[in-house]
Amino acid sequence: MASIERVRRPGGTQGGLGSFLLGCVLAVAGGYLLLQQVQVHGGYWRWFGNNTFGLTLVPLLLGVGLLFFNGKSLPGWILSIAGVVIIFAGIISSMDIYFANTSLYNVLIMLLLLVGGLGLIARSFR
């Protein structure tokens, strides 16, 4: 009997499992619909001027070279990690993110689903 009571009370609160699950479904549906309206476009590599992607590979290549020479090389690990971070930061910074054109009705439905689901989840933990 205690295990059934524990399932009915998510998070050890008096909230119901049904409202928690319904909230999860609504929040996931609203989040999915909202993210479907987001468009991501890649742009040109804009670090240190135009067409300088090769320059950002230098720290990574030096680090990998040092690691092949000595796998315990601290400068090799630092350069390798810094090179990967620079490359990922450059990729992210060259993205253009837009919200696609849609009707106000669709936006309201998406936001109401998302916020309503989060509200039900919060209420089930109260």
pLDDT(8) > 60: no
pLDDT at 5: 58
The highest-confidence range among 13-17, 40-44, 65-69, by mean pLDDT, is 65-69
Those residues whose C-beta lies under 8 Å from the C-beta of residue 46, and which sit 6 or more positions away, are 90, 93, 94
Q: How far apart are CA 110 and CA 116, in angstroms?
A: 10
Q: Are 82 and 112 in contact (CB under 8 A)?
A: no
Instruction: Tell me the per-residue pLDDT of 89-107, one tens digit each, with 9 for 90 and over.
Output: 888 888 888 989 999 999 9
Average pLDDT score over residue span 45-54: 69
pLDDT band of 46, cuts 50, 70, 90: low
- Taking alpha carbons only, the member of 20, 29, 22 closest to residue 122 is 20
Q: Are 81 and 63 in contact (CB under 8 A)?
A: yes
Backbone φ, ψ for residue 42 (5° rounding): -85, 145
This prediction has a pTM of: 0.59
pLDDT(2) > 60: no
- Which H or E run includes 39? strand 38-42
Q: Are 37 and 97 in contact (CB under 8 A)?
A: no
Domain spans in the chain, listed from the N-terminal domain onward: 14-37+100-126, 40-96
pLDDT band of 48, cuts 50, 70, 90: low
